[in-house]
């Protein structure tokens, strides 16, 4: 019998949401080992530095046996292959996610290691959650509690961004 494949769950996780935690839990049930790989790249729209993004998702997934969190830079496929992963896991909320994911999955499979991407459909109640929505609510002083873990909400609320509009 073949060994169970090791899965890489890459993302920006800026910040991680309940949707990400659910995908990590389900991937661990299927694959046993899930490496949550946090991209170090911080583009112009990135709110949190990579060390904070790593810390938050590591805490949010600490209850998942077989899940570990690491930062990475460079090509996802190369990094996954170096770690011995054979599968990339990504969540899909709706059809437009597939338009974004399909070219990445094809490109990743074309790299050395030939990692396959497996998509897990988001839970119905997670289909409207996104990191950008959380960032936008947060920066305007909105309620992010329904979308993130308590620890993520508490951390963000402890920060004072200069442009954050706090509720009256
Ligand atoms: N439930 C809820 N939300 C979900 C979800 C789920 N199941 N799955 C994804 N999302 C959301 C996220 O909240 C986020 O929302 P946003 O776009 O509104 O902010 C979005 O979907 C995707 O974010 P995330 O999961 O953090 O991943 P990403 O798309 O930022 O990650 C990388 C992209 C890092 C995997 C990709 O850019 C990459 O591989 N980079 C490394 C360089 C590389 O190899 N490039 C070539 C790739 S072919």
Q: Is the torsion defined by CA of 16, 96, 91, 44 positive or negative?
A: negative
**89 Cα–ligand 1 center, Å:** 11
Q: Vertex 70, ends 87 and 45: CA angle to 5°?
A: 95
Q: Which residue has the CA at smallest separation from atom 36 of ligand 1?
A: 11
Q: Vertex 8, ends 4 and 11: CA angle to 5°?
A: 160
d(CA 34, CA 49): 22
Atom from ligand 1 closest to the CA of residue 122 = 7
**163 Cα–ligand 1 center, Å:** 25
Q: Is 159 helix (H, G, I), strand (E, B) or coil?
A: coil
Q: Is the peptide bond before 42 cis (omega within 30 degrees of 0)?
A: no
Pocket test for ligand 1, best of 9, 10, 12, 14 (most atoms within 8 A of CB): 12
Query: Which protein residues are within 6 Å of ligand 1, measured from CB?
Result: 10-13, 17, 19, 23, 39, 75-76, 91, 93, 104, 107-108, 122, 126, 129-132
d(CA 24, CA 21): 5
**pLDDT tens sequence for the chain (168 residues):** 567 889 999 999 999 999 999 999 999 999 999 999 999 986 777 999 999 999 999 999 999 999 999 999 999 999 999 999 999 999 999 999 999 999 999 999 999 999 999 999 999 999 999 999 999 999 999 999 999 999 999 999 998 764 555 544
Cβ–Cβ under 8 Å, residues 12 and 39: yes
- pTM summary value: 0.93
Question: Half-sphere exposure (CA, 13 Å, Cβ side) for 152?
Answer: 28
Q: Which residue has the CA at smallest separation from atom 11 of ligand 1?
A: 130
The residues, ordered by sequence, that sit 6+ positions from 86 with a Cβ below 8 Å of its Cβ are: 5, 6, 113, 115, 116
């Amino acid at each position: 019998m073949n060994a169970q494949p090791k899965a890489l769950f890459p993302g920006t996780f800026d910040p991680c949401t309940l949707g990400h935690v659910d995908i990590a839990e389900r991937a661990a049930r299927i694959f046993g080992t899930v490496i949550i790989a946090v991209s170090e790249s911080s583009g112009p729209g990135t709110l949190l530095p990579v060390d904070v993004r790593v810390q938050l998702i590591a805490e949010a997934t600490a209850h998942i046996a077989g899940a570990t969190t690491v930062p990475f830079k460079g090509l996802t496929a190369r990094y996954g292959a170096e770690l011995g992963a054979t599968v990339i896991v990504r969540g899909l909320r709706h059809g437009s996610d597939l338009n974004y994911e399909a070219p990445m999955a094809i490109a990743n499979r074309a790299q050395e290691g030939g990692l396959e991407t497996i998509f897990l459909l988001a839970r119905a109640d997670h289909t409207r959650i996104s990191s950008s929505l959380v960032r936008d609510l947060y920066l305007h002083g909105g309620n992010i509690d329904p979308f993130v873990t308590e620890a993520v909400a508490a951390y963000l609320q402890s920060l004072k961004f200069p442009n954050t509009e706090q509720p009256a």
